[in-house]
Amino acid sequence: MRSHLLNDTTAESYRRSVTEGVERVARKLATTRGPFTGVTPAELAPVIDAVDLDRPLGDASAALDELEDVYLRDAVYFHHPRYLGHLNCPVVIPAVLGEAVLSAVNSSLDTWDQSAGGTLIERKLIAWTAARIGLGPLADGVFTSGGTQSNLQALLLAREESGTADLSKLRIFSSECSHFSVQKSATLLGLGRDAVISIPVDRNKRMQSVVLAAELETCRAEGLIPMAIVATAGTTDFGSIDPLPEIAALAEEYGAWMHVDAAYGCGLLASLKRRHLLDGIERADSVTVDYHKSFFQPVSSSAVLVRDGSALRHATYHADYLNPRRTVAEQIPNQVDKSLQTTRRFDALKLWMTLRVMGADGIGELFDEVCDLAAAGYELLAADPRYDVVVEPQLSTLVYRYVPEAVTSPAEIDRANLYARKALFASGEAVVAGTKVDGRQYLKFTLLNPETTVSDIAAVLDLIAGHAEQYLGENLVHA
Ligand SMILES: *Cc1c(COP(=O)(O)O)cnc(C)c1O
């Protein structure tokens, strides 16, 4: 069994194994016809059930053959131009290369003595990101597993910085379009059920700062404490960006921590054309960025940044075996002192390789392309009588709904849209997402692939209309 250990004596086997795996994936990518095969859980479960984990195959080729059936054939492929579903981007090759290197070396970023250079590389990327945001000289941060964890950590710091022992008094303000991890974090942080005050959005799905101001005033009048305001820079559904300068001013006035959730909108930090959309983000106390959403990085790659690095001390705990107190005095850079995680992947390497090969402008150019595509897609939808489109996009999502010419009940239109989404998924020809707007069923394109064209969008809209019409037609027959 020692022949399977990666070490000085097994370099040849490592090279062969990994090359074979890369070869299979490359072949797969070259031959996938659609983003998905449409396989159902009921069809796939028996294939996976049939695998006897207690009877190993012994060699990589056999395991890769099997992998074809249990995974590769029916995976959902984000690189395909008709994958328009969730916030998943196609990945850039330098990042995939970084991924291969980091998992082979297997550094763990919790302590210097498990990573060395990896620690400094992560620190440099945190400083780079903070500088792009404009957080100032005291800024710091740490890589995380994703936006959910980044938001949780930011709100933990906000809770601790509030200096309040009575958690029932703390309130968080975020728009009704903010990510559900805000509510989840509030619960995990022990705040009350009604700790999160949901602020309505305007017609462009941006937080109404006038309502925010009124709610802050009410909070103060009731003797409660405005712990944090979460501004979303790129809402998950609409890509809308809350009015950051106005929110920053209110946060200052009411002494609230300002967190900007830029999990999606962070791609603008590299944009050549649209960076101004983030103006005001530099006034945040903390910022969430998901490189795995708009920097074309593989999952996971995310970070939380803070204006005042000393706030990260709220995540510092010492363990004799790992990061004893003396290491602080000795100035040993142990990232675990800043993180909610202990053992932690060197995800930063992927971004490093990306910046070293392509540069930030390269990433920004790709992100600008998908934002341009969304603008063109909006024109298409707005001119199409079959569809109702919700807002003109600031980033790269489009939320729309098929509306048949013959007047049908809204509930029937809901069902037709839901049916169309499911039928499209089952066909494997394209993948789109769905969401609700004012209680009604809508569909969503998340455009993160620069290879997707306006004609792809047009073709998928035709497919959706076809499925929806089929549903309505059949239902008429049955009615
Ligand atoms: C996706 C998203 C998150 C959660 O990020 P994960 O990486 O999926 O944990 C948080 N906020 C916003 C606005 C998002 O779009």
Q: Which amino acid is at 392?
A: E
CA-CA distance, 469 to 280, in Å (whole number)?
Answer: 45
Say yes or no to pLDDT of 376 above 80.
yes
- CA 108 – ligand 1 centroid, Å: 24
CA-CA distance, 340 to 142, in Å (whole number)?
Answer: 10
CA-CA distance, 106 to 70, in Å (whole number)?
Answer: 26
CA angle, corner 23, sides to 19 and 24, nearest 5? 125
Which of 286, 170, 185 is CA-nearest to residue 233?
286
Which of 125, 394, 93, 448 is CA-nearest to residue 273?
394
pLDDT average, residue stretch 127-131: 98
Say yes or no to pLDDT of 360 above 70.
yes
Say yes or no to pLDDT of 372 above 90.
yes
Q: Is the dihedral of CA 24, 26, 30, 34 positive or negative?
A: positive
- CA 5 – ligand 1 centroid, Å: 36
* pLDDT for position 13: 96
- CA 344 – ligand 1 centroid, Å: 19
pLDDT average, residue stretch 297-302: 98
Q: Where are the beta strands (DSSP E) in 241-294?
A: 257-262, 286-290
Mutate which of 172, 179, 182, 268 to test ligand 1's pocket (most atoms within 8 Å of Cβ)? 179
Q: Is 107 helix (H, G, I), strand (E, B) or coil?
A: coil
Is pTM beyond 0.75 here? yes
> Dihedrals φ, ψ of 400, to 5°?
-150, 175
CA-CA distance, 267 to 197, in Å (whole number)?
Answer: 28
- CA 144 – ligand 1 centroid, Å: 12
Q: What is the pLDDT of residues 167-206, one digit of tens each?
A: 999 999 999 999 999 999 999 999 988 999 999 999 999 9
Mutate which of 182, 241, 264, 446 to test ligand 1's pocket (most atoms within 8 Å of Cβ)? 264
List where CATH 3.90.1150.170 sits in the chain.
361-478
Q: Which amino acid is at 425?
A: F
The helix, strand and coil proportions of the chain, stated in percent and rounded to the nearest 5, come to 50, 15, 35
Run of H or E residues at 184: helix 181-188
Q: What is the pLDDT of residues 254-298, one digit of tens each?
A: 999 999 999 999 999 999 999 999 999 999 999 999 999 999 999
If you ran DSSP here, which 8-state letter would residue 322 be given?
A: T
Mutate which of 153, 176, 181 to test ligand 1's pocket (most atoms within 8 Å of Cβ)? 181
Which of 146, 92, 139, 441 is CA-nearest to residue 303?
146
DSSP string, 335-361: GGGG-S-SS---THHHHHHHHHHTHHH
> Dihedrals φ, ψ of 143, to 5°?
-75, 150
Q: What is the pLDDT of residues 434-448, one digit of tens each?
A: 999 999 999 999 999
> Measured between alpha carbons, how far is residue 10 from residues 5, 238, 303, 421 in Å?
7, 50, 35, 48
The reply to whether omega before 240 is within 30° of 0 (cis) is no
* pLDDT for position 476: 66
Q: Where are the beta strands (DSSP E) in 324-420?
A: 387-389, 397-402
- CA 215 – ligand 1 centroid, Å: 25
Which of 369, 379, 136, 355 is CA-nearest to residue 272?
369
Q: What is the pLDDT of residues 2-49, one digit of tens each?
A: 999 999 999 999 999 999 999 999 999 999 999 999 999 999 999 999
CA-CA distance, 470 to 385, in Å (whole number)?
Answer: 18
Contact indicator for 373, 396 with CB cutoff of 8 Å: yes
Query: What residue ranges line ligand 1, CB within 6 angstroms?
Result: 87, 146-148, 151, 179, 181, 232, 236, 261, 263-264, 290, 302
Contact indicator for 290, 236 with CB cutoff of 8 Å: no
* pLDDT for position 401: 97
Ligand 1 atom showing the smallest separation from residue 235 Cα: 13
List where CATH 3.40.640.10 sits in the chain.
108-357
Mutate which of 201, 261, 347, 444 to test ligand 1's pocket (most atoms within 8 Å of Cβ)? 261
CATH class, domain 108-357, is alpha beta
The architecture CATH gives domain 361-478: Alpha-Beta Complex (3.90)
